[in-house]
Amino acid sequence: MNNREFTPESEYTYDRSSVWRWLVSHAMRYPMHVVVGTLFRAGVVVAAVQVPKLMGDAFDAVAQANAEASVLLGFGLAILGISVLRGALQLLANYTAEIVALRMERDVRDELYVNLLGKSQTYHGQQRVGDIMARATNDVKQLNYMVNPGLLLLSEWLVNMVAPIAAIGIFLSVDLLPIPVLFLILFLIALRGYLRRLTPVAGALRAQFGALNATLTESIAGIEVVKSNAQEEQEHNRFRVKAEDYRDLFVKQGKIQALYLPLLMFSFCLALGLAHSLYLYTNGALTIGQVITFMGFLAMLRFPTFVSIFAFSLVKLGTAGAERILAILNAETEIDENRAGIEQRIEGEVVFDNVSFAYHGANTLKNISFQAKPGETIAIVGQTGSGKSTLTRLINRIYEVSDGRVLIDGVDVRVWSMESLRSQIATIDQDVFLFSRTLAENIAFGVRRPVNREEIEAVAKQAQAHDFIMSFKDGYDTVVGERGVTLSGGQRQRIAIARAFLADPRILVLDDSTSAIDSATEDQIQRALRNILHGRTTFLITHRLSQIRWADRILVLRGGELEDQGTHDELMARSPAYRNIFAHRDERYTAALPATLVGE
Amino acid sequence: MGFVMDGLDADAYDREYSDRALLRRIITYFRPQARPMLLVAIAIFAGALTDTAVPILISRGIDLVVANPATQIMVLLVIAILVLSSVSWGLNFLRQWLSAVAIGNVTLQIREDAFNATMGHDLSFFDDQPTGKLVSRVSSDTDGFAETVSLTMNLISQVMLVVLMGCVLLVINWQLGLITIAMAPFVAAISLVFRRIARETSLHSRRIMAQVNAHIEESISGIAVAKVFRQEKAVHDDFVRINRQAYRVNFRQGIVLNTFFPVFNATAGIGTAIVVYFGGLNTASGAMSVGDWYLFIQALMFFWFPLTQIASFWSQFQNGLSASERVFGLIDAEPRVVQTGDAPADDLQGGFEFRDVRFSYQPTETVLPDFSLTIPPGESVALVGHTGSGKTSIVRLVARFYEFQEGQLLVDGRDIRAFNLPSYRRQIGIVPQSPFLFSGTVGENIRYGRPDAKEADVLRAVEHIAGGNWLADLPNGLDTDVGERGGRLSMGQRQLVALARVMLHDPAVFILDEATASVDPFTEIQIQDGVEAIMRDRTSIVIAHRLYTVQRADRILVLDSGRILEEGTHEMLLAAGGHYAELYDTYFRHQSLEYVESVIH
């Protein structure tokens, strides 16, 4: 089993060792449907074969001039009955196939989604959301089409290809077999070539769709930048290049399909079969009725030949999609939730023991060691890109250390159960992401238990969010637009603070989280935050001296290395790097402030 | 089953088109493909002729051989069939290939149109449209549109075949022919019944898929939050709900589409039974030859197969139509920002005048009730005020992202609506609070507004932003990969890249929504230097959160509830002791040295 960060309550396991095994294991989740569906389908075929047989018999009856109306009526009624039966069986077979196809679509999408939730942040940092969307919706849909009508047509193809040929041997004469059998062999050879040509194109087509979707998603997500730079044209060109590549692959696929040789082979088979049967007729080896029946059987090969183009194309596109989905499912992710790990209340001691971390060559950390006692507040300062946020993400295992250890209460974070670990650590980020749900739900996001409205209002008041929430028409039931577009940065941060208040974590990470709060609320929130810090270990990424003053200790990061640590006064006294950070500021404000104020 | 349809309402901009309007619209997309389509039509027709000829040849051959079993005839017969089928295959190749070309081009065209329409909408459109839903329309629904193309082409060939085979049937035996053709109205009736249901179910199916898409887009974009709060389960539960609903909605569609062919096959069986019975009677009585009878039955299959295709066409076509309806709905949604003129803005001076402007995002909440303000060219204005005071709305109106409801907004003395929009926007450089970077390199992102800029120009722009030292801190300089949405850079680095982007762009007007996130003082100074460099020599409107910035502004506007409370320079306003002084105390003061000192000592 791969590593993963999330496991749902109940889960069905599938065989992911190869595309076909995986698909079969999905289908076999519904064995009854598969078996019953196959039986129905077999019934359809048996019924279908009866029709030309009956027609041939009717011919013979007429040719032998003993065709009374009653005999013909019998044939007519038999054909009628069988056709209706066949329709009914086909209906049932289609329904079962559709149910399997739709359930498979649903199951695969769920499997993929659960898997994505379990992937590490490092993994997600390398993916393009648009491509993932394409896999989760369009490629999964492609699987549905592969089962129904794809596999259905394929089974029909198989049976309809073999049954008439077998019928020729059984009902007519073995002498008639060479031509249809030769056709079948050549057909299979041509099919192999066809699939070989189609496979790379189908794979490329699905991949290109993903690329198209990714470009599109990015253009829409960044619409404000596009507009403010008046770069609609450039985006259009970018999109067009992808869409044109997709079109070219589509046409290429169309050409491969158009060059499908079995269609031509079928006609040859028909002509040669006619010659052969007529030859046998002139020799007296066959009756005219048998010739007609034989030609009828051969004509039946038209449908499977015709259908095989679609059947195999659908299967190819489906397996190409399946490969793309499996690529995600089987991608290794380095972090595991460690369900069997330690679950207990965190006291709050955090120790970094010679920790190093590498990520895309940027934001790296080198040999970081420090200790935070329970309840301490640790400020982290350093230039942009020096790795401050990355450092805090190693605590709740959003990222995994490359080297060294992070210990909480003396236990390696990898030994903790992720559930226990993350549920006791809360983070308030600079860039707050809100989900398209109500404000109340967004605030309650961090807790598992049901939360009543009073509690939510209480924490919202603590976070100074209550007033602006009530200024909305729907109050707490206001649904947030995507990425919180209808809320200002400051409002979003207050929601996040309320969220953290409610979650009541043992360890709190504040990543510059009061920075977006403007105007009069600031002081109140500062006070509220001071309250929330009380009794829990806090990591504070900030450069506000007012907040740095809260810290028991300050870590100075520079280029991913821990330059120094200590209290503000100690660092001011001994750390040039630390002084340097604040020195610039002093110069600037001394120069800029009006004399009246400096003097006071 | 009411609950199955919960939340499947149309989006605000969706509209209903009549089938006729949809078809007319679809046809306009085919027009540029007239040549390949014509060739396809010819190939289809010729192909239908050859396809029809083969069974006729076979039946005649049987009759001939029965009458006169000569080898010569058989050989000729076989050669004729071989030649005909080769021609038929060649025609089929042409048809399939050219169809793929035509469909590929038509889909490309509508995708581009849908994309351009999306890009052309003003920002109010995106406020309540999740990205995933829009993406679904542009990429998936356009595929559904293509389906109408292939189905239509198929239909043409099937209709030709049915007409031809109908004629053949009548020629062989007009009584039997009439009986067979009489079945057609039944088929038509059944297909019409299916059509209505199919349209509705397929539209619902597309809507739910758009929702699935939107859910995945959002939850994957925000996955870090789910991780941090260990809320994967809640997110998953939500997904399971939508995914199950999608299953139920798709199930309805699946049932409709899967009922079709079996019903038709059964109907076809009835036809065959009748023909076997009456045909047999006719042949037994000598009114028909055995060959004719065979031919009739073969022709019957050739008649039924395309007929079921035609009949199923309507219900399958509905899927394409509902997709088209969604795509056209997107294309036709009317932008609220509409320009009345097309004046170029290349030599924009950057003077703005708001005259009694009233603006609201939603009719219920007015943001700017009656706003007036004049900004002469070259002035730098700092907007300060509480959240919701209207600062952001003012710059959004200047950037022409939204349409205002009343009053006038003049740019260089002309109505803002009189300008060519891309030309106007090119004169405006914006740095938002959390800058969005496109995946690619730092260099590509700086070049974003001027893709043709030379490397030297890029470096000069970088140089102007705090001496360009920050570039050296990036692992690969200009070639550093920023990741999707700039995720691999820190907030401060994204700011610097965004500033360099505007510097290179060199607009007449600079709009800055100052980042409230405080970066380290060192980077802060780099950013402030960059901002200062850009603000020089151009009109600047800054939503200010920095003491340094407000001090540098020519004029500070203190806003509250969309009204200007006070204006003036930093010193003037402080001395006046009004709202600004109050704001300063609670917000800017802690950034001042005096405050810093008081905390330290």
Q: What is the mean pLDDT of residues B389-398?
A: 89
* Domain limits, CATH 3.40.50.300, in chain B: 350-423+549-601
Q: Same structural domain for residues A123 and A27?
A: yes
Task: Find the helix or strand (DSSP H, E) in which B380 lies.
Answer: strand B380-385
Tell me, yes or no, if A586 comes closer than 8 A to chain B by beta carbon.
yes
pLDDT for the residue A416: 92
Look at residue B425 and tell me whether its pLDDT is greater than 80. Answer: yes
Q: Does residue A341 sit within a domain?
A: no
Q: Which phi and psi angles does A312 have, rounded to 5°?
A: -75, -35
Indicate the range of A183-187, A370-374, B4-8, B22-26 predicted with least confidence. B4-8
Given CA atoms B182, B187, B193, B195 in this order, what sign does their dihedral have? negative
Q: Count other Cβ atoms within 10 Å, centred on residue A575.
A: 17
Chain A partners of B139 at a C-beta cutoff of 8 Å?
A: 134, 138, 209, 212-213, 216
| Cβ contacts from A onto B, under 8 A | 561
pLDDT for the residue B591: 64
Q: Same structural domain for residues A284 and A395?
A: no
* Contact by Cβ (8 Å): A529, A510: yes
Q: Which of B230, B517, B596 sits opposite A545 (nearest CB)?
A: B596
pLDDT for the residue A413: 92
Task: Enumerate the β-bridge partners of residue A355.
Answer: A368
* Contact by Cβ (8 Å): A110, B240: yes
Residues within 8 A of A (CB atoms), B 79-138 only: 81-82, 84-86, 88-89, 92-97, 99-101, 103-105, 107-108, 111-112, 115-116, 118-120, 123, 126-132, 134-136, 138
Helices within A432-473 (DSSP H only): 439-443, 453-462, 466-471
Q: Same structural domain for residues A307 and A410?
A: no
Residues within 8 A of A (CB atoms), B 143-162 only: none
Q: Same structural domain for residues A195 and A60?
A: yes
User: Do the Cβ atoms of A385 and B493 come within 8 Å?
Assistant: yes
Q: What is the ipTM of this complex?
A: 0.84
User: Do the Cβ atoms of A384 and B223 come within 8 Å?
Assistant: no
User: Do the Cβ atoms of B135 and A227 come within 8 Å?
Assistant: no
pLDDT for the residue A600: 27
Instruction: Convert the pLDDT of each residue in B265-280 to its tens digit.
Output: 788 788 878 888 888 8
SS3 A1: coil
How far is B274 from chain A, CA to nearest CA, in Å?
6
Task: Find the helix or strand (DSSP H, E) in which B365 lies.
Answer: strand B365-375
Minimum CA–CA partner of A139 in chain B: B140
User: Over A530-590, what HEC string results?
Assistant: HHHHCCCEEEEECCCHHHHCCCCEEEEEECCEEEEEECHHHHHHHCHHHHHHHHHHHHHHH
Q: Same structural domain for residues A322 and A366?
A: no
Rounded Cα–Cα distance for residues A306 and B38 (Å): 24
Look at residue B248 and tell me whether its pLDDT is greater than 70. Answer: yes
B564 closest CA partner among B350, B404, B357 = B357
Indicate the range of A265-269, A381-385, A513-517 predicted with least confidence. A513-517
Indicate the range of A513-522, B262-271, B459-468 predicted with least confidence. A513-522
Between residues B184 and A597, which one has the greater pLDDT? B184
Terminal Cα-to-Cα distance of chain B (whole angstroms): 71
Look at residue A353 and tell me whether its pLDDT is greater than 90. Answer: yes
Token pair 């994967």 is found at B232
The count of structural domains within chain A is 2
pLDDT for the residue A303: 82
Tell me, yes or no, if B272 comes closer than 8 A to chain A by beta carbon.
yes
Indicate the range of A104-118, A229-243, A424-438, B478-492 predicted with least confidence. A424-438
- pLDDT band of residue B7 (cuts 50, 70, 90) is low
Q: Same structural domain for residues A44 and A116?
A: yes
Q: Which phi and psi angles does A105 have, rounded to 5°?
A: -60, -45
pLDDT for the residue A513: 60
Look at residue A484 and tell me whether its pLDDT is greater than 70. Answer: no
Give the pairing of strands B414-415 and A561-566: unpaired
- pLDDT band of residue B203 (cuts 50, 70, 90) is confident
pLDDT for the residue A599: 29
- pLDDT band of residue A485 (cuts 50, 70, 90) is very low
SS3 B84: helix
- Highest mean pLDDT among A360-369, B155-164, B492-501 belongs to B492-501
Chain B partners of A65 at a C-beta cutoff of 8 Å?
A: 284
Q: Does residue A239 sit within a domain?
A: yes
User: Do the Cβ atoms of B520 and A383 come within 8 Å?
Assistant: yes
Rounded Cα–Cα distance for residues A373 and B17 (Å): 67
Rounded Cα–Cα distance for residues B548 and B525 (Å): 10
Give the pairing of strands A377-382 and A537-541: parallel
CA distances from A57 to A62, A67, A293, B281, B414 (A): 9, 11, 8, 14, 90
Instruction: Convert the pLDDT of each residue in A423-446 to its tens digit.
Output: 888 888 777 777 777 899 889 887
User: Do the Cβ atoms of B77 and A274 come within 8 Å?
Assistant: yes
Q: Same structural domain for residues A325 and A374?
A: no
Q: Same structural domain for residues A323 and A433?
A: no
Rounded to the nearest integer, the mean pLDDT of chain B is 84
Which DSSP category does A483 fall into? G
Q: Same structural domain for residues A67 and A196?
A: yes
Q: Which of A59, A217, A270 sits opposite B131 (nearest CB)?
A: A217
Token pair 């795509």 is found at B327
Q: Same structural domain for residues A134 and A195?
A: yes
Chain B partners of A546 at a C-beta cutoff of 8 Å?
A: 590, 595, 599
Q: Count other Cβ atoms within 10 Å, centred on residue B71.
A: 12
Indicate the range of A184-193, B333-342, B397-406 predicted with least confidence. B333-342
Cβ neighbourhood burial of B128 (10 Å; 0-12, 13-18, 19+): middle
Q: Same structural domain for residues A324 and A416?
A: no
CATH architecture group of domain B14-332: Up-down Bundle (1.20)
Q: Same structural domain for residues A157 and A258?
A: yes
Q: Does residue A342 sit within a domain?
A: no
User: Do the Cβ atoms of A270 and B239 come within 8 Å?
Assistant: no
Look at residue A587 and tell me whether its pLDDT is greater than 70. Answer: no
Buried b (16+ CB within 10 A) or exposed e, B513-552: bbbbbbbbbbbbbbbbbbbebbbeebbbbbbbbbbbbbbb
How far is B196 from chain A, CA to nearest CA, in Å?
20
Look at residue A509 and tell me whether its pLDDT is greater than 70. Answer: yes
Q: What is the mean pLDDT of residues B468-487?
A: 83
Q: What is the mean pLDDT of residues B39-57?
A: 81
Q: Which of B61, B433, B570 sits opposite A489 (nearest CB)?
A: B433
- pLDDT band of residue B354 (cuts 50, 70, 90) is very high
Q: Give the structural domain span for A286.
A: 19-329
Tell me which of A278, A300, A329 is where a domain ends: A329
Instruction: Convert the pLDDT of each residue in B358-391 to its tens digit.
Output: 998 877 778 899 999 999 999 999 998 877 788 8
Indicate the range of A160-169, A255-264, B267-276 predicted with least confidence. B267-276
Rounded to the nearest integer, the mean pLDDT of chain A is 84
What CATH number does residue A170 fall under? Answer: 1.20.1560.10
- pLDDT band of residue B574 (cuts 50, 70, 90) is confident
Q: What is the pTM for the complete model shown? A: 0.83
Rounded Cα–Cα distance for residues A218 and B135 (Å): 10
Which DSSP category does B207 fall into? H
Q: What is the mean pLDDT of residues B260-267?
A: 81
Counting other chains too, the contacts that B360-367 makes at CB distance below 8 Å and 24 or more residues apart are B360/B405, B361/A486, B361/B124, B361/B127, B361/B393, B361/B402, B364/A473, B365/A473, B366/B562, B367/B393, B367/B562
SS3 content of chain A, % helix, strand, coil (to 5): 65, 10, 25
* Domain limits, CATH 1.20.1560.10, in chain B: 14-332
Structure tokens at B568: 């003036």
Which segments of B465-562 are extended strands (E)?
509-513, 539-543, 555-560
Q: Does residue A14 sit within a domain?
A: no
pLDDT for the residue B586: 65
CATH value of B350-423+549-601 in 3.40.50.300, 3.40.50.11290, 1.10.443.10, 3.50.50.100: 3.40.50.300
Percent of chain A exceeding pLDDT 70 equals 91
How far is B374 from chain A, CA to nearest CA, in Å?
22
Q: Does residue A93 sit within a domain?
A: yes
